[in-house]
Chains A and B, each alone.
Chain A
Amino acid sequence: MRRSAWSSMVAALPLMVTAPALANDDLMKLIDDPNQWVIQTGDYANTRYSKLDQINKSNVKDLQVAWTFSTGVLRGHEGAPLVIGNMMYVHTPFPNIVYALDLDKEAQIVWKYEPKQDPDVIPVMCCDTVNRGLAYADGQIFLHQADTTVVALDAKTGKVNWTAVNGDPKKGETNTATVLPVKDKIIVGISGGEFGVRCHVTAYDQATGKQVWRAYSMGPDSDLLFDPEKTTALGKPVGKDSSLKTWEGDQWQIGGGCTWGWYSYDPQLDLMYYGSGNPSTWNPAQRPGDNKWSMTIFARDPDDGMAKWVYQMTPHDEWDYDGINEMILVDQEMDGKPRKMLVHFDRNGLGYTMDRESGDLLVAEKFDPVVNWTTGVDMDRNSPTFGRPAVVAKYSTEQNGEDVNSTGICPAALGTKDQQPAAFSPKTGLFYVPTNHVCMDYEPFRVSYTAGQPYVGATLSMFPAPGSHGGMGNFIAWDATKGKIVWSLPEQFSVWSGALATAGDIVFYGTLEGYLKAVDSETGKELYKFKTPSGIIGNVMTYTHGGKQYVGILSGIGGWAGIGLAAGLTDPQAGLGAVGGYAALSNYTALGGQLTVFGLPN
C-alpha cells in the first residue's frame, strides 16, 4: 500500500519538478558560450565550430606556444581538455587520471583524480587504452573509465559524487568513449565488438547515477526499445522482431554492434543520434543475415530511449566498417529548400546526408574516390533495395568465402575515416574531414567464441591506397548538400585528429607525426604548423582566458594508428622484394602525453 502511494508520487514528480530542465538550460548556455569548451564535441550538434575569431586567417602564422602540461601517461591521447570558467579539466588514457587546472594560477593543479582499476582491463581494450574525454554538466565532471565505471566528480573539489558500473571487462566490455549530458541524464556507450559483446546505450540519472534506460543494438524489440509500428527505417515501420529476423538462431546474443563513438543531440526535435559498430565476428560466413541493427544510425528519445528511426548503412558487414562515427547536425539548403540535416562520414567510405527528423536518406556518396567495395547506394525510392549499398563481388569477403584472401579492398578496416571527428563551418557551409587513405587484403576464417576472449576471425594486411599519392591520409573539405569533395590535402599518414573550424576562417587539425596545422577554410592553404612532442590523435579545442583566445591539443601517439602504422605498412600487391617501402611512423615520433596550448604573442 505504502509502496503504491510512493510510486504514484514518483510518477507524478516529473510533471511538477522543473529542476532538471533548468540544469539543462544552464548547460546549453555554457555550450553556446564560445569562451568555454564544455563537452568534447564543442556543441550538441557536433559541429566542432567556434565563433572565436581573434586567431584568424591573417594572424595565425604568428601563433606560438603559450604553455604546456605533461599528463604523466604515455599511451595514446584521444579527446581534448575542457574549459569551464577559469578551470581546465585534462583527462588521460588508462589509468584515466583527471587533472583540474586553475588557469588564473598558471595552470596550477587544483585537484587530481586517479581511479584504481584492475590492469586486466588493458589487454581487453584491443587497440590501446585511449579515452575520448570528459563532459561537464551542472557542477559535475563526468568520466567513463576503461573498466566501464561511470564517475561523477564534483567539479570544484574532485570528490566522487557517485559511480555506476556499466559493464563487465571480464566479458570483454570496456570503454573508450566520452559521455553526453542531455537534460537530467548522462548518455553512455560501450566497447567490445571484437569480444562478442552485445552492445548497448544506457542513460544514467545525472544527480544520482541511477540507470534510467538501456537500449541494445540487437535482440528482441523490448531490448532495442523499438516500437514496431512507430520506429521507422527509411520512412517505413520496422515491424516486429526487426533484429531477430536478421540473425541465425541466438547469434545476436554475441552480436557486437558496439556504441563507442560520438553522440549528438537536437534540443528542438528532442532526439539524440549515434551509430552502432560491426557485428561479431569479422568472419561474415559465421553470421548469415543482415545482422540488424549493427552498422546503424539511431535516432532516439533521450527521455525513455525509444527509437524514432534507424538506418542500417552496411547490412551484413564483411569488412569491419563500424558505423560509430559522429553524426553532425546542421541546417542547410538543399535544392532550394531548408533541410534539417544529419551528416555522417562512415568508415565504409560513404558520406551520408539524412533528414534528421524523418530519417530519410538524401545523399550517400564516396568521400574518397578510391572506395571500391561498393558501386554506390541504391537511391531509387521505389526500389526494394532503396538505401542499400551494391556490393562489388570481387571485394566481397562473404562471396569469396572463408579461407580466401580478398585483395585490394578500399578502404581498409580502419575505414576511410575512424572516430576522429570532422568539423563544420557555417561560414563556408563545408565539412572538414580527417581521413585515412588505406586499403587492405582480408581473409576471414572460422573462430570459436569464448567469453572475454577476442572473437575476431579474419586476417588482414593494410597498405596505402594504390595508384594515389603514396600517403596514408587526406584532409578534405566536403559539400554535404551535393556529396562532393571541394578540396583535398594529401597527408603522409592517416589524419587521426579531430578538426576544429573557427569564425577566424581557419581550420585546425593534428597529424600523426605530431604537427598542429592551421589551413584556410576556403582554400585549404596551409597557414601554420608546429611540431608537438608526440603524434596527435587528440582533437583540437579552443577557449578564451582573460579575454584572449587559446587553442589546445593533446599529443600522445597511440590508438589504432599507433599500432597499425608504428612499423609502417607494406604493399602485398607490390610483389616480392618490393616490401617495406612505406614510412614507419616510429621514425617520426615516440610515445608521450602532453597538452600544448597555443596563443598569439601579447
Chain B
Amino acid sequence: MRRIVLGGLAMAGVLLNLAGATAQDQALPDGKTVENGKYFDAEGNPTYYITPDGVVDWYTYSGFRRYHSECHVCHGPEGLGSSYAPALVDSLKRLDYSQFLEVVVNGRKNISSSQESVMPAFGDNLNVMCYADDIYDYLKARSDGALDRGRPAKRADKPPQATEDENTCLGRS
C-alpha cells in the first residue's frame, strides 16, 4: 500500500523537491518506506530519513523544533541530558516507538530518597501529542548517530499532508 502511494506521489511530482528525488528512485535503506513525505521503518513505525547529501525529512526537522520547545528545558539540548533529566539519545537505544509514546502520554516517576525524577504526562498536551512522532523521529536520528547536534542545515519542505494533519490535530480549520 505504502509503496503504491510512494509511486503515485513520485509520478505526481509532489515530493520531487522534498526529501530529494533520489529517494524516490532508489530503494530506501533498512526497509524504510515513505508516505506523503513521512517515513516509516520496516515495522511500520515512524522514523527519520536523511538523504546522502544531508537533507533531513520535514518531520524530523519538526521534531528538532518541538523538542527544543517542549522537552529541552528538562532533557537538555539535543537530547543530551542534563543535571535534571536523562539523556534521551541514550534512552532511545532501549525504548522502542510504542514504549516512547507510552512514557510521553502517561509520564513516569522514579522517586528515591536522594533523587526524584518525574516525567509529566503529556497525553492532553496538543503541543506535544500532535508532534510526538516528529519528536521520536528526531531523537531516533540523534540516538542512531545519524544527525549531529545543532539545527539541521538542510531540510525538506513541509508536505501538504503535514499541514493538514497539524490543523486537524490542533483543531484548527
Contacts and interface: CB of A to CB of B under 8 A. Distances in A.
B65 interface: yes
Interface residues of B, number: 45
Interface string B108-127: 01010111111110101111
A580 B149 contact: yes
Nearest to A446: B170
A459 B68 contact: yes
Interface residues of A, number: 50
Interface in B75-117: 76-78, 80-85, 87, 107, 109, 111, 113-117
B47 to A, nearest CB: 21
B125 A453 contact: yes
Given A558-B83, A563-B73, A461 B115 contact: no
B70 interface: yes
Nearest to B89: A567
A224 interface: no
A567 B78 CA distance: 9
Interface stretch (A116-124, A352-360, A388-396): A116-124
A562 B84 contact: yes
Contacts of A74: 114-115
Contacts of B153: 576
Contacts of A123: 74, 107, 118-120
Given A123-B107, A450-B124, A563-B83, A456 B149 contact: no
A24 interface: no
Contact of B151 (A95, A441, A454, A457): A441
A402 to B, nearest CB: 11
Interface in A443-482: 443, 445, 447-448, 450, 453-462
Contacts of A128: 83-84
Contact of B150 (A75, A458, A557, A572): A572
B81 A566 contact: yes
B73 A450 contact: no
A567 B80 contact: yes
Given A124-B120, A441-B151, A566 B80 contact: yes
Contact of A73 (B78, B85, B114, B125): B114
B165 interface: no
Contacts of A461: 68, 77, 150-151
B83 A566 contact: yes
Contacts of B54: 576
| A interface, over-half SS | loop
B148 interface: yes
Given A460-B68, A461-B151, A580-B149, A127 B83 contact: no
A442 B127 CA distance: 18
B73 A126 contact: yes
B22 interface: no
Contacts of A558: 83-84
B30 to A, nearest CB: 24
A491 interface: no
Contacts of A338: none
A234 interface: no
Nearest to A557: B83
Nearest to A561: B83
Given A73-B114, A456-B70, A576-B153, A569 B119 contact: no
Which of A73, A567, A586 is packed against the most chain B CB atoms within 10 Å?
A567
Contacts of B150: 461, 570, 572, 579
Contacts, number: 127
Interface in A552-578: 557-558, 562-564, 566-567, 569-570, 572, 576
A567 B81 CA distance: 7
A454 B74 CA distance: 12
B65 A459 contact: yes
A260 interface: no
B76 A119 contact: no
Interface string A101-138: 00000000000000000011011101111000000000
A563 B82 contact: yes
A453 B66 CA distance: 14
B127 A579 contact: no
Contact of B65 (A445, A564, A566, A572): A445
B73 A127 contact: yes
A456 B107 contact: no
B120 A459 contact: no
A405 interface: yes
B76 A567 contact: yes
A454 B120 CA distance: 10
Nearest to B169: A448
Contacts of A458: 69
30 contacts: A119-B118, A123-B74, A123-B107, A123-B120, A128-B83, A447-B127, A448-B127, A448-B170, A450-B124, A450-B126, A453-B120, A453-B124, A455-B127, A456-B69, A456-B73, A457-B127, A459-B64, A462-B77, A558-B84, A562-B84, A563-B85, A564-B77, A564-B82, A566-B81, A566-B83, A567-B76, A567-B81, A569-B77, A572-B150, A579-B150
Interface of B: 54, 64-70, 72-74, 76-78, 80-85, 87, 107, 109, 111, 113-120, 122, 124-128, 148-151, 153, 170-171
Closest 10 A/B residue pairs (Cβ): A562-B83, A567-B80, A123-B120, A563-B82, A459-B68, A122-B118, A453-B125, A459-B65, A566-B82, A572-B150
